[in-house]
Chains A and B, each alone.
Chain A
Amino acid sequence: MSISAENWGEVPLAPPDSIFKLTAAYKADPFPEKINLGVGAYRDDNSNPWVLPVVKTATQILLNDPNIDHEYLPITGLPQFTAAAAKLILGADSPAIAENRVVSVQTISGTGANHLGALFLSRYYHFGEEGKKVYLSDPTWVNHFAIFRNVQIEPVTYPYYDAATIGLAFEPFLETLRTAAPRSVFLLHACAHNPTGVDPTREQWGKICDVILEKNHYAFFDCAYQGFASGDLVNDAWAVREFVKRGVPLLVCQSFAKNAGLYGERVGALHIIAPTKEGADRVKSQLSVLQRSEISNPPAHGARLVALILNDPALFEQWKDDIRTMAHRIIEMRKELHKLLTEELKTPGNWDHIVNQIGMFSFTGIKTEASLALTEKAHIYLTTNGRISMAGLNKNNVRYFAENLDKVVRGQL
């Protein structure tokens, strides 16, 4: 049939993405009370995806605008989008913006920003004698490892999550910052740590910043949940803005997948803060070269939606409302789950982390065997590290979840 049948004969079958496997198993399960707590996307109270009302409004505006076409965006993206996105994370009054030291490039959502930022560091950052390394939190979003390896930066981990306290391993974290070679690159989750939901307090951030400055480390911020963590955009940007204020060399990866519910439209940005405007221009020129040989220019539609929302005061207010709707539903679920476990079921153990953790995810603290049991016996789908997506819980299923969590903790499932 074909000439060179041996072209692809040796291509090995790669393992499927683990979250994909989980979702596929959930979909195939006929059990009526099944719950999907693996999903990293917001769900409304009826477990449905939720297109933000402000996004629907913005979509209509675009549809009815005769001046909108599908022309190529500039390589670095839609200027109305990137400028507004920079102000959103850094603050409209950021001196870095005023001094033209911020390079902003539109990217394919947060993954694209992480990739481009990592690629740029791989090409231009002066790594020390230890070579190209990046410190990732233990644990972190699983794709971080692949992203950095893909550009020949070796990922190593820093202590982050303390299983004993189901909280932050703060002293070990600081110690790693201190003992790492000077000028190391540390990836920091700006807010709503994925997968644990455990964030440093402001005081802790201050101390982290102290050590980073002492050691001349580089801060690689990943910000995928601004607004989604506490419900307040400004509050969630605090760590990034503090570090910028204190002069830490840094970049920020920004995603609008969750806070604008624009997941599949792939809206994101990479912001690199340079020490001077002249430096920023050079950095921008090289980011353009890197972007050009991978995607040429980024996708227009999602960026146009976000540009409208960020730049129109009425739409911006609506967006803040929509964000609060999502964040508050999640916070309500946390409270409800906590109440069920502590007041009604009196589940053994301390469950305060459920309400203390921040964002879409929660590290329940249960072990692998318990996670697997929940899936196999109760048709509750979660990752084996005990992480649940709070967005998958709602008024209809939270009791079922709480009762089964209680059973598995008691060894009765």
Chain B
Amino acid sequence: MQAIARPLARAAPRALSRAAALSTWSAVPAGPPDAILGVTEAFKRDQDPRKINLGVGAYRDGNGKPFVLPSVKKAEEIISQSGDKEYLPITGLPEFTRRAALLAYGAESAPLKGNAVAVTQSISGTGALRIGGAFLARFYPHSKTIYLPTPTWGNHTPIFRDSGLEVKGYRYYDKKTVGLDFEGLKADLQSMPEKSIVLLHACAHNPTGVDPTQAQWIEISNIIKEKSLFPFFDMAYQGFASGSTSKDAFAVRHFVSEGHQVALCQSFAKNMGLYGERVGAFSLTTADPEEKARVESQLKIVIRPMYSNPPLHGARIASTILGSPELYSEWEGEVKGMAERIISMRDRLYDNLVAQKTPGEWGHIKSQIGMFSFTGLTTPQTKALAEKAHIYMTADGRISMAGLNAHNIDYFSESVSRAVKGDI
């Protein structure tokens, strides 16, 4: 715009600046590759035609392909016809957050009916956890420690630590039974300092697939009530676990109906297949509308300096589906379909492993719930499976059942059988 003669280039400062620049990042250490996402990267580099990716938790159809839900496709067509690109409010698309809360808490929920649920759209489940962690670190008056089940999703720890909370563990998974260490869990809840924050996977525990039964959830709720612990729910698989969104919300709804105040993180990555569009919500049940307003005002203060306001596209899709009786019902059918394909893979894997006389107990494959299964394979075994059989999973033996299908399940079960027998 302005044609001004440029000053002569100066050589000396450039050399000086290079030295200065060299020192700017010279002390930055190389960060570790992400454990979970690194599995996909190793898989991509592998050229073997038999390779199987059982790492990341993204649903695959019967042919191993990503699955765009038909209801999602329809919703996308609808929203493409109108609408602008204006900024959403800081707490997101109001129709989306309203419908997301309804989906989780249920129409009969007292705090929802009483307009006492503070809810914000979030960057999928990760973003919800981060908002929740930061909000609790700032405003939860009774404790700055959150207890996570052992094991838990690998990203939980860095999220909560970076939010400013101290992270500790409670017993959850029993290696010996490949099931829930219920006595250990209860004992640890009992011995936690009162009013500590407890993270609970609402359904389809990641990575184990081991969930408490409804009777066990009721007991857990009672202990948490006795100790005045704060329940922080992570619900990333509503609908995906059993095929029914209301069944999968049992724990959350039971706690709320028992009078607990809760925090809830919701993700629509899996149940709507919206992974990369980053659709989620974070909510807190509060005492009344006045408290809800105060809490929401502070949620905005957490969000604004991080990213101002959330992305439109995925929230519009989700809202369109949840708000249309036809699409909602189609979607419920699609979620059920995904859950059922996974359950059928579990059954088949179990049958194969037993037929191949694979040493050990394999009932957990069928009793575990959701996308993941803790196979019980050891780290050396998982390594061998990657190197010799081109089968990729996380080092803790977690497999994504969604990565299995009719074409690869026999190769998979044979390879696992050989790995367990030690002759892979």
B87-113 to A contact mask, C-beta < 8 Å, 1/0: 111100000000000000000001100
User: Please, how many angstroms separate the alpha-carbon atoms of A17 and B68 in the complex?
Assistant: 38
Chain B residues in 8 Å Cβ range of A206 = 6-7
Chain B residues in 8 Å Cβ range of A207 = 7
On whether the beta carbons of A14 and B311 are closer than 8 Å, the reply is no
Nearest-Cβ distance from residue B227 to partner chain A, whole angstroms: 11
User: Please, how many angstroms separate the alpha-carbon atoms of A107 and B33 in the complex?
Assistant: 19
Interface segment among A244-252, A389-397, A401-409: the answer is A244-252
CB < 8 Å neighbour of A126 from B23, B230, B258, B297? B23
Interface segment among B155-163, B319-327, B406-414: the answer is B155-163
CB < 8 Å neighbour of A8 from B88, B159, B287? B287
Query: Which among B158, B159, B228, B261 has the highest number of chain A CB atoms within 10 Å?
Result: B261
Chain B residues in 8 Å Cβ range of A266 = 307, 309-312
Question: Which of chain A's residues has its CB closest to B312's CB?
Answer: A264
On whether the beta carbons of B66 and A264 are closer than 8 Å, the reply is no
B263-293 to A contact mask, C-beta < 8 Å, 1/0: 0000001000111111000001111000101
Nearest-Cβ distance from residue A274 to partner chain B, whole angstroms: 5
Chain A residues in 8 Å Cβ range of B80 = 59-60, 63
B61-88 to A contact mask, C-beta < 8 Å, 1/0: 0000010100010001100100011111
Nearest-Cβ distance from residue B45 to partner chain A, whole angstroms: 14
On whether the beta carbons of B311 and A213 are closer than 8 Å, the reply is no
Chain B residues in 8 Å Cβ range of A73 = 276
On whether the beta carbons of B308 and A202 are closer than 8 Å, the reply is no
Chain A residues in 8 Å Cβ range of B6 = 202-203, 206
Chain A residues in 8 Å Cβ range of B21 = 247-249, 275
Whether a CB of chain A sits under 8 angstroms from the CB of B215 is no
Chain A residues in 8 Å Cβ range of B298 = 11-12, 14
Chain A residues in 8 Å Cβ range of B111 = 2
Whether a CB of chain B sits under 8 angstroms from the CB of A31 is no
User: Please, how many angstroms separate the alpha-carbon atoms of A73 and B140 in the complex?
Assistant: 33
Which A14-62 residues sit within 8 Å CB-CB of chain B?
14-17, 20, 41, 49, 51, 55, 59-60
Tell me whether A294 and B275 are in contact in the complex, defined as CB-CB below 8 angstroms, given that A7-B230, A124-B28 are known contacts: no
A264-292 to B contact mask, C-beta < 8 Å, 1/0: 11100000001110010111011011001
Whether a CB of chain A sits under 8 angstroms from the CB of B247 is no
Count of A interface residues, CB-CB < 8 Å: 93
Whether a CB of chain A sits under 8 angstroms from the CB of B355 is no
Whether a CB of chain A sits under 8 angstroms from the CB of B31 is yes
User: Please, how many angstroms separate the alpha-carbon atoms of A214 and B10 in the complex?
Assistant: 11
B126-160 to A contact mask, C-beta < 8 Å, 1/0: 11001000000001111000000000000100110
CB < 8 Å neighbour of B13 from A109, A214, A296? A214
Chain A residues in 8 Å Cβ range of B26 = 275, 279
Which A209-267 residues sit within 8 Å CB-CB of chain B?
210, 213-214, 216, 218, 230, 235, 246-249, 257, 261-266
Whether a CB of chain B sits under 8 angstroms from the CB of A150 is yes
Chain B residues in 8 Å Cβ range of A108 = 123, 306-308, 310-311
Whether a CB of chain A sits under 8 angstroms from the CB of B370 is no
Question: Which of chain A's residues has its CB closest to B124's CB?
Answer: A296
Whether a CB of chain A sits under 8 angstroms from the CB of B187 is no
Chain A residues in 8 Å Cβ range of B16 = 213, 216
Interface segment among A298-306, A343-351, A360-368: the answer is A298-306
User: Please, how many angstroms separate the alpha-carbon atoms of A283 and B21 in the complex?
Assistant: 13
Question: Which of chain A's residues has its CB closest to B291's CB?
Answer: A8
On whether the beta carbons of A126 and B159 are closer than 8 Å, the reply is no
On whether the beta carbons of B110 and A282 are closer than 8 Å, the reply is no
B195-213 to A contact mask, C-beta < 8 Å, 1/0: 1000000000000000000
Whether a CB of chain B sits under 8 angstroms from the CB of A201 is yes
On whether the beta carbons of B304 and A213 are closer than 8 Å, the reply is no
Chain A residues in 8 Å Cβ range of B76 = 63
Tell me whether A230 and B261 are in contact in the complex, defined as CB-CB below 8 angstroms, given that A115-B305, A275-B21, A295-B130 are known contacts: no
User: Please, how many angstroms separate the alpha-carbon atoms of A296 and B298 in the complex?
Assistant: 23
Tell me whether A282 and B276 are in contact in the complex, defined as CB-CB below 8 angstroms, given that A51-B85, A203-B7 are known contacts: no
Whether a CB of chain A sits under 8 angstroms from the CB of B313 is yes
Nearest-Cβ distance from residue B8 to partner chain A, whole angstroms: 10
Whether a CB of chain B sits under 8 angstroms from the CB of A75 is yes
On whether the beta carbons of A286 and B28 are closer than 8 Å, the reply is yes
On whether the beta carbons of A72 and B287 are closer than 8 Å, the reply is no
Which A163-213 residues sit within 8 Å CB-CB of chain B?
183, 201-203, 206-207, 210, 213
Query: Which among A4, A109, A262, A286 has the highest number of chain B CB atoms within 10 Å?
Result: A4
CB < 8 Å neighbour of A216 from B20, B228, B258, B293? B20
On whether the beta carbons of B311 and A70 are closer than 8 Å, the reply is no
Query: Can you report 24 residue pairs joining A to B where beta carbons are below 8 Å apart?
Result: A2-B261, A4-B230, A8-B291, A12-B298, A14-B301, A15-B297, A51-B84, A51-B85, A70-B276, A108-B310, A109-B307, A111-B306, A203-B7, A213-B13, A235-B1, A257-B87, A261-B85, A264-B312, A265-B85, A283-B25, A283-B28, A292-B126, A293-B155, A294-B127
The 10 residue pairs across chains A and B that have the minimum distance between CB atoms = A285-B31, A108-B307, A300-B276, A301-B313, A264-B312, A14-B297, A111-B308, A150-B305, A293-B158, A299-B311
Residues of A that sit less than 8 Å from B by CB:
1-17, 20, 41, 49, 51, 55, 59-60, 63, 69-75, 107-109, 111-112, 115, 124-126, 143, 146-147, 149-150, 183, 201-203, 206-207, 210, 213-214, 216, 218, 230, 235, 246-249, 257, 261-266, 274-276, 279, 281-283, 285-286, 288-289, 292-302, 358
Q: A2-B259, A11-B294, A246-B14 are in contact. List 11 more A-B contacts (CB 8 A).
A: A3-B259, A5-B287, A202-B2, A202-B4, A202-B6, A210-B7, A213-B17, A282-B31, A294-B123, A301-B311, A358-B1
Residues of B that sit less than 8 Å from A by CB:
1-2, 4-7, 9-10, 13-14, 16-18, 20-34, 37, 56, 58, 66, 68, 72, 76-77, 80, 84-90, 110-111, 123-124, 126-127, 130, 139-142, 155, 158-159, 161-162, 195, 225, 228, 230, 258-261, 269, 273-278, 284-287, 291, 293-295, 297-298, 300-301, 304-314
